[in-house]
Structure 1
Protein backbone atom coordinates (compact mmCIF):
# COMPACT_ATOMS: atom_id res chain seq x y z
CA UNK A 1 0.00 0.00 0.00
CA UNK A 2 1.62 3.26 -1.11
CA UNK A 3 -0.84 5.87 0.11
CA UNK A 4 -1.20 6.69 3.78
CA UNK A 5 -4.33 6.03 5.81
CA UNK A 6 -6.09 9.20 6.88
CA UNK A 7 -6.99 8.57 10.51
CA UNK A 8 -9.29 10.31 13.00
CA UNK A 9 -9.60 9.66 16.75
CA UNK A 10 -13.04 10.02 18.40
CA UNK A 11 -12.55 9.56 22.13
CA UNK A 12 -13.81 11.52 25.16
CA UNK A 13 -10.86 10.75 27.47
CA UNK A 14 -7.83 12.96 26.95
CA UNK A 15 -5.39 10.36 28.29
CA UNK A 16 -6.74 7.77 25.86
CA UNK A 17 -6.42 10.23 22.95
CA UNK A 18 -2.84 11.03 23.95
CA UNK A 19 -1.94 7.34 24.13
CA UNK A 20 -3.40 6.69 20.68
CA UNK A 21 -1.53 9.67 19.24
CA UNK A 22 1.75 8.46 20.73
CA UNK A 23 1.22 4.98 19.24
CA UNK A 24 0.29 6.37 15.82
CA UNK A 25 2.90 9.14 15.66
CA UNK A 26 5.65 7.30 13.83
CA UNK A 27 3.60 4.81 11.86
CA UNK A 28 4.73 5.03 8.21
CA UNK A 29 1.24 4.42 6.82
CA UNK A 30 -0.75 6.74 9.11
CA UNK A 31 -1.66 10.37 8.52
CA UNK A 32 -3.40 11.55 11.70
CA UNK A 33 -6.00 14.14 10.68
CA UNK A 34 -7.02 15.09 14.21
CA UNK A 35 -9.05 14.15 17.26
CA UNK A 36 -12.60 14.67 18.55
CA UNK A 37 -13.74 14.48 22.16
CA UNK A 38 -17.41 13.65 21.55
CA UNK A 39 -19.74 12.09 18.99
CA UNK A 40 -21.26 15.39 17.84
CA UNK A 41 -17.84 16.66 16.81
CA UNK A 42 -17.02 13.23 15.38
CA UNK A 43 -19.98 13.29 12.99
CA UNK A 44 -19.01 16.73 11.73
CA UNK A 45 -15.32 15.92 11.21
CA UNK A 46 -15.89 12.48 9.64
CA UNK A 47 -18.34 13.87 7.10
CA UNK A 48 -16.07 16.85 6.42
CA UNK A 49 -12.62 15.23 6.40
CA UNK A 50 -13.64 11.77 5.08
CA UNK A 51 -10.99 9.71 6.93
CA UNK A 52 -10.14 6.17 5.87
CA UNK A 53 -10.09 4.94 9.46
CA UNK A 54 -11.66 6.06 12.74
CA UNK A 55 -10.63 4.94 16.21
CA UNK A 56 -13.96 5.15 17.99
CA UNK A 57 -14.84 4.89 21.66
CA UNK A 58 -18.27 3.37 22.33
CA UNK A 59 -19.25 4.84 25.68
CA UNK A 60 -19.14 8.63 25.29
CA UNK A 61 -21.26 11.45 26.72
CA UNK A 62 -23.98 13.06 24.58
CA UNK A 63 -24.18 10.24 22.01
CA UNK A 64 -22.55 6.81 21.98
CA UNK A 65 -20.21 5.52 19.31
CA UNK A 66 -22.95 3.32 17.86
CA UNK A 67 -25.37 6.26 17.75
CA UNK A 68 -22.71 8.38 16.04
CA UNK A 69 -22.35 5.80 13.27
CA UNK A 70 -26.03 6.20 12.43
CA UNK A 71 -25.45 9.84 11.46
CA UNK A 72 -22.56 9.41 9.04
CA UNK A 73 -22.67 10.27 5.35
CA UNK A 74 -19.04 9.16 4.86
CA UNK A 75 -18.33 5.47 5.56
CA UNK A 76 -14.87 4.92 7.13
CA UNK A 77 -13.37 1.74 8.53
CA UNK A 78 -13.97 1.53 12.28
CA UNK A 79 -11.74 0.24 15.07
CA UNK A 80 -13.56 0.38 18.40
CA UNK A 81 -11.66 1.38 21.52
CA UNK A 82 -13.43 0.84 24.83
CA UNK A 83 -13.00 -0.30 28.41
CA UNK A 84 -16.14 -2.47 28.25
CA UNK A 85 -15.58 -6.00 27.00
CA UNK A 86 -19.30 -6.86 26.72
CA UNK A 87 -19.32 -5.19 23.29
CA UNK A 88 -16.43 -7.21 21.86
CA UNK A 89 -18.30 -10.14 20.32
CA UNK A 90 -21.00 -7.93 18.84
CA UNK A 91 -18.40 -5.57 17.38
CA UNK A 92 -16.93 -8.45 15.38
CA UNK A 93 -20.35 -9.79 14.41
CA UNK A 94 -21.24 -6.48 12.80
CA UNK A 95 -17.94 -6.37 10.95
CA UNK A 96 -15.89 -3.71 12.67
CA UNK A 97 -12.28 -4.00 11.50
CA UNK A 98 -11.13 -4.61 15.06
CA UNK A 99 -11.86 -4.02 18.74
CA UNK A 100 -9.28 -2.74 21.20
CA UNK A 101 -10.00 -3.32 24.88
CA UNK A 102 -8.44 -0.63 27.07
CA UNK A 103 -5.70 -0.64 28.17
CA UNK A 104 -4.10 -2.10 25.04
CA UNK A 105 -0.38 -2.30 24.13
CA UNK A 106 1.11 -0.68 21.06
CA UNK A 107 1.67 -3.98 19.23
CA UNK A 108 -2.07 -4.76 19.53
CA UNK A 109 -2.92 -1.44 17.89
CA UNK A 110 -0.35 -2.03 15.12
CA UNK A 111 -1.95 -5.40 14.38
CA UNK A 112 -5.32 -3.67 14.06
CA UNK A 113 -3.89 -1.18 11.56
CA UNK A 114 -2.45 -4.09 9.55
CA UNK A 115 -6.02 -5.42 9.23
CA UNK A 116 -7.18 -2.08 7.84
CA UNK A 117 -4.33 -1.98 5.32
CA UNK A 118 -5.22 -5.50 4.21
CA UNK A 119 -8.87 -4.53 3.73
CA UNK A 120 -8.16 -1.34 1.78
CA UNK A 121 -9.17 -1.89 -1.82
CA UNK A 122 -11.76 -4.47 -0.80
CA UNK A 123 -14.59 -1.95 -0.48
CA UNK A 124 -17.42 -3.85 -2.18
CA UNK A 125 -19.39 -4.22 1.03
CA UNK A 126 -18.37 -0.99 2.74
CA UNK A 127 -21.86 0.59 2.77
CA UNK A 128 -23.48 -2.62 3.98
CA UNK A 129 -20.81 -2.84 6.69
CA UNK A 130 -21.45 0.63 8.07
CA UNK A 131 -25.19 0.00 8.00
CA UNK A 132 -24.74 -3.10 10.11
CA UNK A 133 -22.51 -1.16 12.49
CA UNK A 134 -25.05 1.64 12.81
CA UNK A 135 -27.99 -0.70 13.27
CA UNK A 136 -26.53 -2.21 16.42
CA UNK A 137 -28.09 -1.10 19.69
CA UNK A 138 -25.66 -1.67 22.54
CA UNK A 139 -28.04 -1.75 25.48
CA UNK A 140 -31.16 -3.77 24.66
CA UNK A 141 -34.31 -1.87 23.69
CA UNK A 142 -33.86 1.73 22.56
CA UNK A 143 -34.82 4.50 24.95
CA UNK A 144 -33.75 7.22 22.50
CA UNK A 145 -33.05 7.74 18.80
CA UNK A 146 -30.51 10.15 17.31
CA UNK A 147 -31.35 11.97 14.06
CA UNK A 148 -29.51 14.53 11.96
CA UNK A 149 -31.35 17.50 10.46
CA UNK A 150 -28.95 19.41 8.24
CA UNK A 151 -26.31 20.58 10.71
CA UNK A 152 -28.24 19.80 13.88
CA UNK A 153 -28.35 16.54 15.82
CA UNK A 154 -31.52 15.76 17.76
CA UNK A 155 -31.94 13.17 20.49
CA UNK A 156 -35.51 11.83 20.50
CA UNK A 157 -36.75 9.97 23.55
CA UNK A 158 -38.73 6.92 22.49
CA UNK A 159 -41.39 7.93 25.03
CA UNK A 160 -42.08 10.96 22.83
CA UNK A 161 -42.48 8.98 19.58
CA UNK A 162 -46.09 8.77 18.34
CA UNK A 163 -45.50 6.54 15.34
CA UNK A 164 -42.97 5.63 12.67
CA UNK A 165 -43.68 5.50 8.94
CA UNK A 166 -41.72 3.66 6.27
CA UNK A 167 -40.32 5.77 3.40
CA UNK A 168 -38.32 3.42 1.14
CA UNK A 169 -34.78 3.31 2.61
CA UNK A 170 -35.73 5.82 5.31
CA UNK A 171 -38.30 6.18 8.05
CA UNK A 172 -40.23 9.20 9.25
CA UNK A 173 -40.38 9.46 13.04
CA UNK A 174 -43.37 11.45 14.30
CA UNK A 175 -43.22 13.12 17.71
CA UNK A 176 -45.37 15.77 19.37
CA UNK A 177 -42.79 18.35 18.28
CA UNK A 178 -42.69 17.37 14.60
CA UNK A 179 -41.29 14.69 12.34
CA UNK A 180 -37.74 13.58 11.57
CA UNK A 181 -36.27 11.50 8.75
CA UNK A 182 -33.75 8.78 9.53
CA UNK A 183 -31.92 6.23 7.38
CA UNK A 184 -32.95 3.06 9.18
CA UNK A 185 -35.22 0.16 8.32
CA UNK A 186 -38.60 -0.64 9.83
CA UNK A 187 -37.19 -4.06 10.69
CA UNK A 188 -34.54 -2.36 12.83
CA UNK A 189 -37.11 -0.40 14.82
CA UNK A 190 -39.43 -3.39 15.12
CA UNK A 191 -36.66 -5.42 16.73
CA UNK A 192 -35.09 -2.62 18.81
CA UNK A 193 -38.18 -0.94 20.29
CA UNK A 194 -39.84 -2.46 23.35
CA UNK A 195 -42.74 -4.61 22.00
CA UNK A 196 -44.79 -3.70 25.06
CA UNK A 197 -44.60 -0.04 23.99
CA UNK A 198 -44.58 -0.21 20.18
CA UNK A 199 -46.55 -2.39 17.76
CA UNK A 200 -46.01 -3.02 14.03
CA UNK A 201 -49.54 -2.53 12.70
CA UNK A 202 -48.72 -2.42 8.97
CA UNK A 203 -45.69 -2.80 6.74
CA UNK A 204 -45.64 1.01 6.70
CA UNK A 205 -46.37 1.79 10.37
CA UNK A 206 -45.09 1.16 13.88
CA UNK A 207 -47.23 2.86 16.51
CA UNK A 208 -46.78 3.75 20.17
CA UNK A 209 -49.28 1.84 22.32
CA UNK A 210 -49.71 4.90 24.54
CA UNK A 211 -50.92 6.93 21.54
CA UNK A 212 -53.71 4.55 20.51
CA UNK A 213 -57.18 5.88 21.26
CA UNK A 214 -59.34 3.62 19.14
CA UNK A 215 -59.25 0.70 16.69
CA UNK A 216 -62.00 1.15 14.14
CA UNK A 217 -63.38 -1.21 11.50
CA UNK A 218 -64.24 0.47 8.19
CA UNK A 219 -64.70 -2.55 5.89
CA UNK A 220 -64.92 -6.30 6.38
CA UNK A 221 -61.63 -7.35 8.00
CA UNK A 222 -60.22 -3.87 7.42
CA UNK A 223 -59.24 -1.65 10.33
CA UNK A 224 -57.62 1.66 11.15
CA UNK A 225 -55.92 2.80 14.33
CA UNK A 226 -56.96 6.26 15.51
CA UNK A 227 -54.38 8.04 17.63
CA UNK A 228 -55.03 10.58 20.36
CA UNK A 229 -54.38 13.44 17.92
CA UNK A 230 -56.94 11.83 15.51
CA UNK A 231 -54.31 10.59 13.06
CA UNK A 232 -55.64 7.51 11.24
CA UNK A 233 -53.26 4.68 10.29
CA UNK A 234 -54.06 1.58 8.26
CA UNK A 235 -53.89 -1.80 9.95
CA UNK A 236 -52.93 -4.95 8.02
CA UNK A 237 -54.20 -8.44 8.88
CA UNK A 238 -50.92 -9.31 10.59
CA UNK A 239 -50.97 -5.89 12.26
CA UNK A 240 -54.44 -6.55 13.65
CA UNK A 241 -53.21 -9.86 15.03
CA UNK A 242 -50.28 -8.02 16.66
CA UNK A 243 -52.70 -5.54 18.21
CA UNK A 244 -54.94 -8.30 19.58
CA UNK A 245 -51.99 -10.11 21.13
CA UNK A 246 -50.43 -6.97 22.60
CA UNK A 247 -53.64 -5.38 23.88
CA UNK A 248 -55.35 -8.66 24.81
CA UNK A 249 -58.78 -8.18 23.23
Structure 2
Protein backbone atom coordinates (compact mmCIF):
# COMPACT_ATOMS: atom_id res chain seq x y z
CA UNK A 1 0.00 0.00 0.00
CA UNK A 2 1.36 3.41 -0.98
CA UNK A 3 1.16 6.16 1.62
CA UNK A 4 2.97 9.39 2.51
CA UNK A 5 4.55 10.58 5.75
CA UNK A 6 6.39 13.39 7.51
CA UNK A 7 8.97 12.84 10.28
CA UNK A 8 9.56 15.57 12.89
CA UNK A 9 12.40 15.22 15.41
CA UNK A 10 15.14 17.63 16.46
CA UNK A 11 17.75 14.86 16.52
CA UNK A 12 19.08 14.02 13.01
CA UNK A 13 20.24 10.53 14.00
CA UNK A 14 16.80 9.62 15.32
CA UNK A 15 15.15 10.91 12.14
CA UNK A 16 17.54 8.78 10.10
CA UNK A 17 16.94 5.74 12.32
CA UNK A 18 13.16 6.03 12.04
CA UNK A 19 13.34 6.52 8.26
CA UNK A 20 15.53 3.39 7.95
CA UNK A 21 13.21 1.26 10.08
CA UNK A 22 10.15 2.50 8.18
CA UNK A 23 11.79 1.58 4.88
CA UNK A 24 12.12 -1.99 6.14
CA UNK A 25 8.68 -2.26 7.71
CA UNK A 26 6.77 -0.40 4.98
CA UNK A 27 8.73 -0.16 1.72
CA UNK A 28 5.84 1.55 -0.08
CA UNK A 29 5.70 4.41 2.43
CA UNK A 30 7.08 7.64 0.98
CA UNK A 31 8.63 10.03 3.51
CA UNK A 32 7.99 13.40 1.88
CA UNK A 33 9.91 15.60 4.31
CA UNK A 34 11.70 15.81 7.66
CA UNK A 35 11.24 18.62 10.19
CA UNK A 36 13.56 19.74 13.00
CA UNK A 37 10.88 21.23 15.26
CA UNK A 38 7.13 21.62 15.61
CA UNK A 39 6.84 24.86 13.68
CA UNK A 40 8.72 23.41 10.73
CA UNK A 41 6.51 20.31 10.94
CA UNK A 42 3.38 22.45 10.56
CA UNK A 43 4.87 24.36 7.63
CA UNK A 44 5.98 21.18 5.85
CA UNK A 45 2.63 19.54 6.55
CA UNK A 46 0.81 22.44 4.92
CA UNK A 47 3.18 22.19 1.95
CA UNK A 48 3.11 18.42 1.39
CA UNK A 49 -0.15 17.24 3.07
CA UNK A 50 1.14 13.77 4.11
CA UNK A 51 -1.26 11.13 5.37
CA UNK A 52 0.87 10.28 8.43
CA UNK A 53 2.97 12.47 10.74
CA UNK A 54 5.56 11.10 13.17
CA UNK A 55 6.01 13.77 15.87
CA UNK A 56 8.64 13.87 18.59
CA UNK A 57 6.90 15.17 21.73
CA UNK A 58 9.81 17.27 23.01
CA UNK A 59 11.32 19.62 20.41
CA UNK A 60 12.67 23.17 20.79
CA UNK A 61 10.32 26.08 20.12
CA UNK A 62 6.94 24.67 19.14
CA UNK A 63 6.73 21.17 20.62
CA UNK A 64 5.29 18.14 18.90
CA UNK A 65 2.23 18.54 21.11
CA UNK A 66 1.44 22.01 19.79
CA UNK A 67 2.19 20.90 16.24
CA UNK A 68 -0.36 18.12 16.73
CA UNK A 69 -2.97 20.70 17.74
CA UNK A 70 -2.35 22.49 14.44
CA UNK A 71 -2.41 19.35 12.30
CA UNK A 72 -5.34 17.88 14.30
CA UNK A 73 -7.65 15.71 12.22
CA UNK A 74 -5.91 16.16 8.89
CA UNK A 75 -3.48 13.25 9.31
CA UNK A 76 -2.79 10.10 11.27
CA UNK A 77 -0.60 11.12 14.23
CA UNK A 78 2.15 9.00 15.74
CA UNK A 79 3.98 10.44 18.75
CA UNK A 80 7.63 9.59 19.26
CA UNK A 81 8.11 9.89 23.00
CA UNK A 82 9.86 8.72 26.13
CA UNK A 83 6.69 9.42 28.15
CA UNK A 84 5.29 5.93 27.92
CA UNK A 85 2.56 6.47 30.53
CA UNK A 86 0.81 9.14 28.48
CA UNK A 87 1.63 7.42 25.20
CA UNK A 88 -0.28 4.36 26.39
CA UNK A 89 -3.20 6.60 27.38
CA UNK A 90 -3.16 8.12 23.90
CA UNK A 91 -3.19 4.71 22.30
CA UNK A 92 -6.00 3.40 24.50
CA UNK A 93 -8.21 6.37 23.62
CA UNK A 94 -7.64 5.66 19.95
CA UNK A 95 -6.60 9.25 19.31
CA UNK A 96 -3.02 8.64 18.23
CA UNK A 97 -0.40 5.92 18.07
CA UNK A 98 2.99 6.10 19.70
CA UNK A 99 6.59 4.90 19.50
CA UNK A 100 8.80 4.90 22.58
CA UNK A 101 12.47 5.75 22.23
CA UNK A 102 14.70 3.88 21.53
CA UNK A 103 12.77 2.46 18.59
CA UNK A 104 11.83 -1.21 18.60
CA UNK A 105 11.30 -2.86 15.22
CA UNK A 106 8.58 -5.17 16.50
CA UNK A 107 6.64 -2.26 18.01
CA UNK A 108 7.07 -0.28 14.80
CA UNK A 109 5.65 -3.19 12.81
CA UNK A 110 2.50 -3.05 14.99
CA UNK A 111 2.21 0.69 14.38
CA UNK A 112 2.61 0.22 10.62
CA UNK A 113 -0.13 -2.42 10.59
CA UNK A 114 -2.54 -0.13 12.47
CA UNK A 115 -1.76 2.80 10.18
CA UNK A 116 -2.36 0.69 7.09
CA UNK A 117 -5.72 -0.45 8.47
CA UNK A 118 -6.82 3.11 9.31
CA UNK A 119 -5.87 4.45 5.90
CA UNK A 120 -7.58 1.55 4.11
CA UNK A 121 -10.76 1.48 6.20
CA UNK A 122 -11.55 5.19 6.41
CA UNK A 123 -9.56 7.19 3.84
CA UNK A 124 -12.21 9.91 3.60
CA UNK A 125 -12.95 10.40 7.30
CA UNK A 126 -11.23 12.47 9.97
CA UNK A 127 -8.39 10.39 11.43
CA UNK A 128 -8.95 11.27 15.09
CA UNK A 129 -11.76 12.25 17.42
CA UNK A 130 -11.27 15.86 18.58
CA UNK A 131 -12.23 15.24 22.22
CA UNK A 132 -9.90 12.26 22.55
CA UNK A 133 -7.04 14.06 20.89
CA UNK A 134 -7.33 17.16 23.08
CA UNK A 135 -7.37 15.06 26.25
CA UNK A 136 -4.23 13.25 25.16
CA UNK A 137 -2.45 16.45 24.17
CA UNK A 138 -3.32 18.11 27.47
CA UNK A 139 -1.91 15.13 29.36
CA UNK A 140 1.26 15.05 27.31
CA UNK A 141 1.71 18.80 27.70
CA UNK A 142 1.38 18.62 31.50
CA UNK A 143 3.80 15.71 31.69
CA UNK A 144 6.31 17.49 29.47
CA UNK A 145 6.23 20.59 31.68
CA UNK A 146 6.60 18.48 34.83
CA UNK A 147 9.58 16.56 33.49
CA UNK A 148 11.34 19.62 32.16
CA UNK A 149 11.14 21.17 35.63
CA UNK A 150 12.44 24.58 34.57
CA UNK A 151 11.03 27.85 33.35
CA UNK A 152 12.32 28.90 29.93
CA UNK A 153 13.72 32.39 29.44
CA UNK A 154 12.02 34.42 26.74
CA UNK A 155 12.93 37.68 25.02
CA UNK A 156 12.17 40.80 27.04
CA UNK A 157 13.54 43.32 24.53
CA UNK A 158 14.10 43.42 20.79
CA UNK A 159 16.97 45.49 19.41
CA UNK A 160 16.17 47.42 16.23
CA UNK A 161 17.85 50.12 14.18
CA UNK A 162 15.68 53.24 13.92
CA UNK A 163 17.33 55.93 11.80
CA UNK A 164 20.85 56.45 13.12
CA UNK A 165 20.12 55.00 16.55
CA UNK A 166 19.53 51.57 18.05
CA UNK A 167 16.21 51.16 19.83
CA UNK A 168 15.44 48.63 22.56
CA UNK A 169 11.77 47.72 22.13
CA UNK A 170 10.02 46.12 25.15
CA UNK A 171 8.28 43.00 23.85
CA UNK A 172 5.10 43.79 25.81
CA UNK A 173 4.69 46.90 23.63
CA UNK A 174 4.84 44.92 20.38
CA UNK A 175 1.56 44.54 18.49
CA UNK A 176 2.76 42.14 15.82
CA UNK A 177 5.72 40.97 13.74
CA UNK A 178 5.60 40.29 10.03
CA UNK A 179 8.09 38.71 7.66
CA UNK A 180 9.48 41.14 5.09
CA UNK A 181 11.74 39.27 2.65
CA UNK A 182 15.02 38.67 4.57
CA UNK A 183 13.91 40.86 7.48
CA UNK A 184 11.08 41.03 10.00
CA UNK A 185 8.91 44.09 10.49
CA UNK A 186 8.34 44.86 14.20
CA UNK A 187 5.25 46.98 14.87
CA UNK A 188 4.93 48.42 18.37
CA UNK A 189 3.28 51.29 20.21
CA UNK A 190 6.06 53.68 19.20
CA UNK A 191 6.35 52.87 15.50
CA UNK A 192 7.81 50.29 13.14
CA UNK A 193 11.28 48.92 12.47
CA UNK A 194 13.00 46.17 10.49
CA UNK A 195 15.23 43.64 12.22
CA UNK A 196 17.42 40.89 10.80
CA UNK A 197 15.93 38.04 12.83
CA UNK A 198 13.51 35.79 11.00
CA UNK A 199 9.97 34.91 12.03
CA UNK A 200 11.18 31.37 12.69
CA UNK A 201 13.83 32.54 15.15
CA UNK A 202 11.45 34.91 16.92
CA UNK A 203 8.74 32.25 17.25
CA UNK A 204 11.16 30.19 19.36
CA UNK A 205 12.33 33.14 21.49
CA UNK A 206 9.03 34.84 22.39
CA UNK A 207 6.76 33.75 25.25
CA UNK A 208 4.12 31.46 23.68
CA UNK A 209 1.57 32.45 26.32
CA UNK A 210 1.64 35.99 24.93
CA UNK A 211 2.81 35.72 21.31
CA UNK A 212 1.37 33.27 18.79
CA UNK A 213 2.11 32.61 15.15
CA UNK A 214 -1.07 33.01 13.11
CA UNK A 215 0.46 32.55 9.67
CA UNK A 216 3.83 31.47 8.34
CA UNK A 217 4.72 35.17 8.04
CA UNK A 218 2.94 36.69 11.08
CA UNK A 219 3.23 36.61 14.89
CA UNK A 220 0.71 38.57 16.99
CA UNK A 221 0.58 39.71 20.60
CA UNK A 222 -2.53 38.04 22.07
CA UNK A 223 -2.93 40.92 24.53
CA UNK A 224 -3.49 43.22 21.54
CA UNK A 225 -6.19 41.12 19.85
CA UNK A 226 -9.70 42.64 19.93
CA UNK A 227 -11.49 40.60 17.25
CA UNK A 228 -11.08 37.46 15.16
CA UNK A 229 -13.27 37.19 12.04
CA UNK A 230 -13.74 33.82 10.37
CA UNK A 231 -13.07 33.61 6.65
CA UNK A 232 -13.41 30.94 3.93
CA UNK A 233 -11.68 27.54 4.05
CA UNK A 234 -11.02 27.59 7.81
CA UNK A 235 -9.05 30.84 7.75
CA UNK A 236 -9.59 34.08 9.67
CA UNK A 237 -8.40 37.66 10.15
CA UNK A 238 -7.20 39.26 13.38
CA UNK A 239 -7.87 42.87 14.35
CA UNK A 240 -5.59 44.48 16.95
CA UNK A 241 -6.15 47.39 19.33
CA UNK A 242 -5.94 50.83 17.71
CA UNK A 243 -4.81 49.41 14.36
CA UNK A 244 -6.56 49.37 10.99
CA UNK A 245 -4.69 46.55 9.29
CA UNK A 246 -6.09 43.02 9.45
CA UNK A 247 -3.66 40.14 9.93
CA UNK A 248 -4.17 36.67 8.43
CA UNK A 249 -4.82 33.46 10.36
CA UNK A 250 -4.15 30.35 8.29
CA UNK A 251 -5.89 27.04 8.76
CA UNK A 252 -3.06 25.53 10.81
CA UNK A 253 -3.31 28.25 13.46
CA UNK A 254 -7.06 28.82 13.65
CA UNK A 255 -7.37 26.47 16.64
CA UNK A 256 -5.57 29.05 18.79
CA UNK A 257 -8.63 31.31 18.67
CA UNK A 258 -11.49 28.82 18.92
CA UNK A 259 -11.99 29.39 22.65
CA UNK A 260 -11.43 33.14 22.62
* Residue 163 of structure 1: how far off its partner (Å): 5.1
1:154 lines up with 2:219 in the alignment: yes
Distance 1:41 1:184, change over 3 A: closer
**Could you tell me which residue of structure 1 aligns to residue 104 of structure 2?**
105
**Could you tell me which residue of structure 1 aligns to residue 8 of structure 2?**
10
Structure 2 unaligned residues grouped into runs of 5+: 146-207
**Could you tell me which residue of structure 1 aligns to residue 186 of structure 2?**
none
Is the CA contact 2:73–2:128 (under 8 Å) kept in the aligned structure 1? no
1:69 lines up with 2:134 in the alignment: no
Identify which of structures 1 and 2 has the higher relative contact order when contacts are C-alpha pairs closer than 8 Å and 6+ apart.
Answer: 2
Is the CA contact 1:174–1:180 (under 8 Å) kept in the aligned structure 2? no
Distance 1:171 1:92, change over 3 A: farther
Is the CA contact 2:96–2:133 (under 8 Å) kept in the aligned structure 1? no
1:22 lines up with 2:88 in the alignment: no
1:115 lines up with 2:114 in the alignment: yes
Is the CA contact 2:9–2:59 (under 8 Å) kept in the aligned structure 1? yes
3-state DSSP class of the match of 2:255? Answer: coil
Counterpart Cα distance in 2 of 1:37 and 1:99: 19
Is the CA contact 1:58–1:82 (under 8 Å) kept in the aligned structure 2? yes
Distance 1:47 1:105, change over 3 A: same
Is the CA contact 1:12–1:36 (under 8 Å) kept in the aligned structure 2? yes
**Could you tell me which residue of structure 2 aligns to residue 126 of structure 1?**
126
Distance 1:170 1:127, change over 3 A: farther
**Could you tell me which residue of structure 1 aligns to residue 163 of structure 2?**
none
Task: Count how many residue pairs are aligned between Structure 1 and Structure 2.
Answer: 184
List aligned pairs for 1:1-249, cutoff 5 A. Answer: 3-26=1-24, 27-72=26-71, 75-89=74-88, 91-92=90-91, 95-121=94-120, 122-126=122-126, 129=129, 133=133, 136-137=137-138, 138-139=140-141, 143=209, 146-149=212-215, 151-152=216-217, 154=219, 156=221, 160=223, 167=230, 181=249, 182-184=253-255, 189=259, 206=260
> Which stretch of the first structure deviates more once superposed, 114-123 or 89-98?
89-98
**Could you tell me which residue of structure 2 aligns to residue 198 of structure 1?**
none
3-state DSSP class of the match of 1:25? Answer: helix
> Which stretch of the first structure deviates more once superposed, 134-143 or 37-46?
134-143
Counterpart Cα distance in 1 of 2:239 and 2:88: 34
Q: Which has the larger radius of gyration?
A: 1
Is the CA contact 2:18–2:103 (under 8 Å) kept in the aligned structure 1? no
Counterpart Cα distance in 2 of 1:185 and 1:148: 8
* Residue 72 of structure 1: how far off its partner (Å): 4.0
* Residue 9 of structure 1: how far off its partner (Å): 0.7
Q: Which has the higher helix share?
A: 2
RMSD: 3.8
